[in-house]
Amino acid sequence: MQSNCSFSVGGSISVNCHGWQWNTGPIASTVESFTLMLANGKIVECSRNQNRHIFSAALGGYGLIGVILDVRLKVVENTELTHEQTIIDCSESEERIALLLNENIEMGFGRVAISKDQLFEKLIWNNYRSTGPATSQISDRGVKAMKRTIFRGSERSDYGKRLRWRAEAYLQPLIDNKKTVSRNHLLSESTSLYENRSAQSTDILHEYFIPLDKIEEFMSSAKKIILNSQTDLLNVTIRTVKSDQETLLSYAPDDRVAFVMLFCQPMTKTAEEEMKRTTQELINSSLALGGTYYLPYRPHATTSQFKQAYPNWQKFIQSKSDLDPTQIFQNKFYLKYLIPAEPIAQTNNKQKIPQ
């Protein structure tokens, strides 16, 4: 699942989400089977052994193939976790993450420094190791108000960004000292804790999936792009994602490191244009290094960027056209990147489509 708990199962599977679970694939890797209602109203069972082509298209298929009605997921035990935190130089991150990949870590993520003077120079790395079955419950996150104030206080403020870094790098370890938390506790944080409640601005997420041996290059290029832009970066986390070769719209065709970036943006036309330009530059930088970007967010990518990042897009359109010939299921993503100019000929898959 994602790093927050505010999402639906159908929505999570339909974007093929990923999170802090160390060195694991996206959620599709944990799906055993699901039932799907097709555009013709028929309900079909999909798994690796049954209707496999529909399984691959509907997982991470943004609701364009059918409606997922229920799903059978592999789950893991709730465990008790100890927390370790270290500060590392971004210039050593490839080597350090490569070493961590061989360790017995259950959850892990990095948080990058974002103030202008330190941007992509240092990161706080967090490891959670299991000590056995969970012994503690999901508990109240006592310092919620303080966490929110420190986080939102970093908006348009380099002082606020440095203060947050110092609080997370030096104060948090003292608060957490020797405490353990359950895995369920760690994954029970709602997005409302940090959400933007202003009518004048909104928060925008980006995600880039970069090969491990290219992340230092990506960080130095992202640093230049962001410092040369008028955008306000609020957060960057780093996670690992194992390869997903099962879904048609896979963002991790081989093992990747995910960069999750959160920006705060004024609700103006100028700011929207600036975000679009910056997003396209960041996508170019990711593509040049063999990386991809994530599809759930603002559709700022150009069509050619989308096609380069998702080379199986034609197979996806073919499945869509076989399974939903009258295009009942649509969304802005479909209308911008996938709607065919000409009707697509039906393939021989027709006999494979339950009538």
Ligand X SMILES: Cc1cc2nc3c(=O)[nH]c(=O)nc-3n(C[C@H](O)[C@H](O)[C@H](O)COP(=O)(O)OP(=O)(O)OC[C@H]3O[C@@H](n4cnc5c(N)ncnc54)[C@H](O)[C@@H]3O)c2cc1C
Q: Which residue has the tokens 């990095």?
A: 110
The residues binding ligand X (CB under 6 A) are 2-4, 7-8, 10-12, 14-15, 17-19, 62-63, 67-68, 191, 205, 296, 331
Nearer to ligand X, 90 or 204 (CB): 204
Q: Residues 215, 217, 218, 220: what is their CA dihedral angle, to the nearest 10 degrees?
A: 120
Nearer to ligand X, 61 or 160 (CB): 61
Closest approach of Cβ 234 to ligand X, in Å?
11
Nearer to ligand X, 299 or 325 (CB): 299
Distance CA 152, CA 48 (A): 44
Closest approach of Cβ 300 to ligand X, in Å?
15
Closest approach of Cβ 171 to ligand X, in Å?
24
Closest approach of Cβ 275 to ligand X, in Å?
15
Closest approach of Cβ 75 to ligand X, in Å?
17
Q: Which amino acid, residue 351?
A: Q
> Could you tell me which of 235, 210, 227 has the C-alpha nearest to residue 309?
210
Closest approach of Cβ 133 to ligand X, in Å?
25
Closest approach of Cβ 163 to ligand X, in Å?
22
Nearer to ligand X, 28 or 219 (CB): 28
Q: Output the DSSP codes for 65-92.
A: S-EEEEEEE-----EEEEEEEEEEEGGG
Nearer to ligand X, 63 or 160 (CB): 63
Determine the angle formed by the axes of helices 269-288 and 215-227, rounding to 10 degrees. Answer: 160
- For 49, phi then psi, to 5°, come to -110, -15
Letter string b/e over residues 149-183, b meaning 16 or more CB atoms within 10 A of that residue's CB: ebbbebeeeeebbbebbeebbeebeeeeeeebbbb
35: tokens are 């039932």
Answer for the pair 113, 123: CB distance below 8 angstroms, yes or no: yes
The residue nearest ligand X at its CB is 11
Closest approach of Cβ 147 to ligand X, in Å?
15
Nearer to ligand X, 6 or 91 (CB): 6
Distance CA 145, CA 30 (A): 35
Nearer to ligand X, 2 or 284 (CB): 2
How many other C-beta atoms can be found within 10 angstroms of the C-beta atom of residue 232?
21
Q: Which amino acid, residue 169?
A: A
248: tokens are 């048609």
Closest approach of Cβ 126 to ligand X, in Å?
14
Nearer to ligand X, 62 or 128 (CB): 62
Answer for the pair 26, 243: CB distance below 8 angstroms, yes or no: no
Answer for the pair 200, 265: CB distance below 8 angstroms, yes or no: no
Nearer to ligand X, 23 or 118 (CB): 23
Answer for the pair 187, 5: CB distance below 8 angstroms, yes or no: yes
